Structure 1
Amino acid sequence: MSGIIQISRGAIAVSLVMLLGCNSAKQAGTITPTGIAATNTIDRNATPETKALFKNLMQLSKNHTLFGHQHATEYGHGWAGDADRSDVKSVTGSHPAVIGVDLSGFSGRPAAAIEKTKEELRKTVADTYNRGGVVTVAWHFSNPIAGGGFYWKDSVSLPAVRYIIPGGSANQQYKEILRGIGEWAKSTRGNDGKLVPMIFRPFHEFDGDWFWWGKSHSTKEEFVTLWKFTVSYLRDSIGVHNFLYAFSPDNKFETEEEFLERYPGDEWVDMVGMDNYGDMGRDGKYNVARATKLLKIISDYAKKAGKLAAFTETGLESIPHPTWWTDVLLKVMKEPGIQLCYVLVWRNDRTSPTHYYAPFPGQGSVPDFMKFYNDPYTLFEKDLPKMYE
């Protein structure tokens, strides 16, 4: 990347620091919210850094979208565990602004293996915070009472939701799992000694049937109870105050009413979003107009309710479309009226030659990804202002 481009990207970051620090607009009238609900975290006792992350993401989303990549710094295409490395950084010189991690190994395994996973993930999260980046936490939760994995077909097809909510026979077991998550969250600190804020996104894609918490495997009332209990137990019983809570179905809705069918209420959610691969090129199928429509529903609701909005998962496996980044993703992100704080693409598998969603050096979409990177609308880690102040 040329020196001129680097300076340009740096200038964007400087202007954002000014925007967020002194509340002055890049352009007159662009950052003052009008006609929306009060914007506050659902946790009144959230740490100052967590509240700052919420407000800064809200402010940035008016003119920019942060780019994220799942497991970006843990492993990539053909490598794993290298210090300060990501495929995105190898291509652009900057890590993604948002790093996705997963609590998938936090239960259903021997205690020593769980503790090792927690320690490794604690370092990944703290390193991201120390660099100034943002962390979003998914949870591919192995079925806690049936054994097996998180997929319905791999979990003895047992509808666990009804058993782990209050009144269910496995509620105490679920509390123990949540205590493990809470203890980890409350022990994950940056170099400044402060707890690392994280966007926690449990029970994602719940409108599909592929996970054991999916729509066909629990009633609406059971799912809403599960959501409320999870948030309440972490926040109020355990005292986790460095989480923002993200609600993200897949793309199975067409209207705001359908999007909110299993919504637990504004007092239980900080961020609304969706996962959508199906409209973005999966199996060669593109329906960008539909993807845009669904994101507009989410963004419009977020504005009304004072919530953050995000494109919580998307991507095109192997990126066979060489200009996908600007012809598809960026066009969706920049659709007038849509305000997204981040977009996250899925992981690059360290062993598979075809399972990747972000480019690496030599991959065919690199030239277009550099256009995506250099567009002032997209923000990467080097572009971010101080997100926790």
Structure 2
Amino acid sequence: MTHFFLNTASLLMRFNFRKVILLLTCFTSSLTSSCKQDNVPVTTPPPAEDVAPDLPTIRSWLTDKNATAETAALFYNLQQLAKTNILFGHQADTEQGYGWGDASGTSDVKAVTGAYPAVYGSDFLFIASFQRNSWFDNQAQITKAQAIAAYKRGGINTFCWHYWNPVSSVVATDWNEGVNGDFYWDNSPVPAVQQILPGGTHHAVFKASLKRVADFAKSLISDGKSVPVIFRPFHEFDGDWFWWGKAHCTAAEYKDLYRFTVTYLRDSLHVNNFLYAFSPDRNFTTETQYLERYPGDEYVDLVGCDNYWDLRANGADIILAASKLKIVSDYAKAKNKLAALTETGLELKANPTKNDWYTQTLLKVLKQQQVELAYVLLWANRTNAYFTPYPAHPAAADFTKFKHDPYLIFGDKLPDVYTIR
């Protein structure tokens, strides 16, 4: 302690001496000179704050150069938020849940945490499927209503497409004929990708399905403005479970499928409220593997991946999962794209003793490397399979702790993402 006081006194004496010399120097300098001393602010203007680019500039980065102003703003603001935070998303959050399906604004996430998610996942399954009956029509109306409601509360909509095999599902070009298809290969083992591309036997059927998607997208209107959507077609293509999977089409055919989907929606059907997302499953460890079926930067706004396996209850590999996110994030930063963990989750009913997965697995994966991800999306809840807990569930406390981590943004902390700031 004695040494502390002696050293402090010595420092004060040296400081006062320096102060005298500094004052003398200032006095003899010209009146227009500026003088800086310890702990005294410099009277120079602060550096200019970063200025957001204008709308035409942001549009020039996008797949759709005619994207609506709100869609362009969404891209830019998600890019900025990803520098410091990640948004939390949940599939079908207000469409269905544990023990309910009323779609009246109910949310399992809100019931536990007090807040809606920031990102809402939906599916074109009910809109552009070949099954047309009252149940499907009702589900389509629920999806539309909840997507608009999510936008009105400031949330973000992302749609995947579990598209029924258009070759095995359709007997004729009539939309209402042939309803025995499926999106899983095991239930619909008929090669289709080549047949729905231009020149194929079922190309007209595929275009009719895209027209359904486009009509629905254009019906998403709130206060006279189109609701932006992050559209994620033909996901998990590096697996074999979907009919568009790796074993069922060549890399060139998959790229052509993705490119045609984008260009037909954008250029022929004039859908201008989409950002386009590319997302394989977890089957890559290098950028080269990740990009094996990549259609090209001009067709993609968001790069992502789905990953359940590396985050499983027993045997999770946090380092491996994080390294894959780093590949995605680095590519996004290099190419001026968004990045996301587009699907993940732990099915809680099947893992009743794993009650700390959100903080001890998912959060650690998200934070393990310096990544810039726009959002992470957990899969949907229903009574017999749920990926976020209900209020009385043993994992509810951990999920609430996860929600309050400063890195996460739920709906209650989401800033305006539809205005360029």
Specify if TM > 0.5: yes
- In structure 1, distance between residues paired with 2:143 and 2:396: 29
Give the aligned partner of residue 343 of structure 1: 376
How far did 1:253 drift? 0.8
Asked if the contact 1:53–1:387 (Cα under 8 Å) also holds between the matched residues in 2, the reply is: yes
Larger RCO, structure (CA 8 Å, separation 6 or more): 1
SS in 2 for 1:167: coil
Amino acid at match of 1:376: P
Question: Which residue is equivalent to 2:148?
Answer: 126
Q: Partner of 1:242 in structure 2? A: 273
Q: Which residue of 2 aligns with 1:73?
A: 94
Task: Tell me which of 286, 293, 310 is aligned to 1:262.
Answer: 293
Q: CA deviation at 1:85?
A: 1.3
- Number of the residue aligned with 2:4: none
Output the amino acid matched with 1:265.
Answer: G
For residues 1-389 of structure 1, the aligned pairs below 5 Å read 40-105=61-126, 106-110=128-132, 114-147=136-169, 148-155=181-188, 157-190=189-222, 192-281=223-312, 284-318=314-348, 320-349=353-382, 351-352=383-384, 355-389=385-419
2: CA distance, partners of 1:39 / 1:369: 39
The answer as to whether partners of 1:38 and 1:306 remain within 8 angstroms in 2 is no
Q: Decide which moves more: 288-297 or 106-115.
A: 106-115
For structure 1, list consecutive stretches of 5 or more residues without a partner in the other structure.
Answer: 1-22, 26-30
Q: For the Cα contact (< 8 Å) 1:118–1:184, is it kept in 2?
A: no
Comparing 163-172 with 312-321, which one deviates more in the overlay? 312-321
What is the CA-CA distance between 1:285 and the residue it aligns to?
2.5
Asked if structure 1 preserves the Cα contact closer than 8 Å seen for 2:278 and 2:304, the reply is: yes
Q: Residues of 2 paired with 1:130 and 1:55: CA distance? A: 19
Q: Which amino acid in structure 1 is aligned with residue 165 of structure 2? A: N
Structure-1 separation of matches of 2:373 and 2:193: 30
CA gap of 1:232–1:39, structure 2 versus 1, over 3 A, is closer
Distance 1:117 1:328 in 2: 33
Distance 2:275 2:137 in 1: 24
Q: Which amino acid aligns with 2:145?
A: K
2:344–2:376 CA contact under 8 A, matched in 1 = yes
User: What is the deviation of 1:116?
Assistant: 3.5
Say what the alpha-carbon RMSD is for the aligned residues: 2.0
How far residue 63 of structure 1 moved from its aligned partner, in angstroms, is 0.3
- The equivalent residue for 1:10 is none
**1:66-109 deviation digits (Å, cap 9, x = unpaired):** 00111110111111114221000001111111111011122211
Q: Give 1:56 deviation, angstroms.
A: 0.6
Contact 1:161 1:223 in 2 (8 A): yes
SS in 2 for 1:330: helix
Structure 1 runs of 4+ with >6 Å offset: none
Give the C-alpha shift of residue 40 in structure 1.
Answer: 2.2
Please, which moves more after superposition, 136-145 or 111-120? 111-120
Count of aligned residue pairs for this structure pair: 353
Counterpart residue identity of residue 151, structure 2: Y
% identity of equivalent residues: 49
Instruction: State the distance in 1 between where 2:108 and 2:95 align.
Output: 10
Counterparts of 2:257 and 2:271 in 1: how far apart (Å)?
17
Distance, in Å, in 2 between the alignment partners of 1:111 and 1:368 is 41
Match of 1:14 in 2: none
Secondary structure of the 2:225 match is coil
Secondary structure of the corresponding residue to residue 88 of structure 1: helix
Paired residue secondary structure (1:211):
coil
User: Which has the larger displacement, 259-268 or 336-345?
Assistant: 336-345
Q: Distance in 2 between the 1:364 and 1:115 partners?
A: 36
Q: Please tell me the residue identity of whatever aligns with 2:118.
A: A
User: Contact (CA 8 Å) 1:39, 1:55: kept in 2 or not?
Assistant: no
Are residues 82 and 220 of structure 1, via their aligned partners in 2, closer, same or farther at CA, if it must alter by over 3 Å? Answer: closer
Contact 1:205 1:275 in 2 (8 A): yes
2:406 and 2:190 map into 1 onto residues whose CA distance is: 48
Contact 1:39 1:306 in 2 (8 A): no
